Amino acid sequence: MAGTAVRGRLTWQVSAVTALIDETASVKTIELQAPDWAGHLAGQHLDVRLTAEDGYRAERSYSIASAPGEPVALTVERLEDGEVSPYLTEELRPGDDLEIRGPVGGYFVWDGDDSVTPLMLIAGGSGVVPLRSILRHRSNLRSTVPVRLLYSARSLADVIYRDELDQEGAGVEVIYTLTRQQPQGWTGHRGRVDKSMLSEVAWPPDQQAIAYVCGPTPFVETVASSLVGLGYPAQRVKTERFGGIGGS
């Protein structure tokens, strides 16, 4: 209940869907109005709970797509065999209620600390969602921390937040690699992220960068071990895995 929640305790609260935005053919951003939301850090999650008429409940954890201080937003990819994501991406309408709790997590977060430089953000598919929160937070803070985002997607049409990423300002380099389909004349990277691509794209280890890697589990395993192989200390590689599905 509002005002009575004990700090640290998680309480389910009812939010209202204010907008649904198509990001790609299978990905939507859901903007929420959550009156009891206590705020969040860039990179944190929230839990969503759906309750069926017979009382059956399903919960999922999603990365928060908006920056601290902005209204809560989720970006959800529809998984064909999913239990929750088809409802969120196909059935949900503006004005609907959505039960959420959070924020959750304290590991995969960027607190806006200017002294930690630079940032190496690496996304596979919808793993870009918490990294977008970090980028927006950086922008809102007018931080000058240098950032590189390496974003692996199946094709250009599968790139989430493309307009926003293409407008990133000074200090942010966005590098795409397209794994399945490249447009005619594509001069960017192609194929999966591997050690050789990282040695070209990632900040050299002597820059003391901190890396945030988010994507499908095999993607994260490959990227994290490659970064460590290139000389990144393991504790400067923060990882978040969301399973073996999702396009990267």
Partner 1 sequence: MDDLDGNAMGGLMQEIFGVEMTTAIETCAHCGNAAVVAETAVYLRGPGAVMRCPTCTNILMVVVRRQDMHCVDMQGIASLSPAGQTA
Look-up of token digits 């998680």: 10
**DSSP code of residue 212:** E
Q: Tell me if residue 179 falls in helix, strand or coil.
A: coil
Q: Can residue 84 be called a binding residue for partner 1 (CB under 8 A)?
A: no
* Binding test (CB under 8 A) with partner 1, winner from 195, 217, 230, 236: 217
Size of the site for partner 1 (CB under 8 A): 28
* Binding test (CB under 8 A) with partner 1, winner from 65, 126, 240, 248: 240
> Which positions from 100 through 139 interact with partner 1, judged by CB under 8 A?
101-102, 104-108
Counting Cα atoms < 13 Å in the Cβ hemisphere of 6 gives: 1
Cβ pair 183, 200 in contact under 8 A: no
> Which positions from 42 through 81 interact with partner 1, judged by CB under 8 A?
45-47, 59, 61
The pairing of beta strand 119-124 with beta strand 73-77 = unpaired
∠ at Cα 219 (241, 132), nearest 5°? 60
Classify 111 in phi/psi space as left (phi over 0), alpha (psi -120 to 50) or beta. Answer: alpha
> Which positions from 5 through 34 interact with partner 1, judged by CB under 8 A?
6, 8-10
* Binding test (CB under 8 A) with partner 1, winner from 218, 228, 230, 236: 218
∠ at Cα 187 (196, 153), nearest 5°? 65
Question: Could you tell me how many residues make up the chain?
Answer: 248
Q: How far apart are CB 128 and partner 1 at their closest, in Å?
A: 16
Q: Can residue 215 be called a binding residue for partner 1 (CB under 8 A)?
A: no
CA dist., res. 127 & res. 60, Å (int): 15
The DSSP H or E segment spanning 12 is none
Q: How far apart are CB 6 and partner 1 at their closest, in Å?
A: 8
Which range of residues in 1-9, 112-120, 156-164, 174-182 is near partner 1 by CB under 8 A?
1-9
Q: How far apart are CB 183 and partner 1 at their closest, in Å?
A: 30
Q: How far apart are CB 235 and partner 1 at their closest, in Å?
A: 9
Q: Can residue 244 be called a binding residue for partner 1 (CB under 8 A)?
A: yes
Closest to partner 1 by CB, 203 or 212: 212
CA dist., res. 44 & res. 134, Å (int): 10
Q: How far apart are CB 60 and partner 1 at their closest, in Å?
A: 9
Q: How far apart are CB 106 and partner 1 at their closest, in Å?
A: 4
Q: Tell me if residue 16 falls in helix, strand or coil.
A: strand
Contacting residues toward partner 1, per CB under 8 A = 6, 8-10, 45-47, 59, 61, 101-102, 104-108, 216-218, 220, 238-245
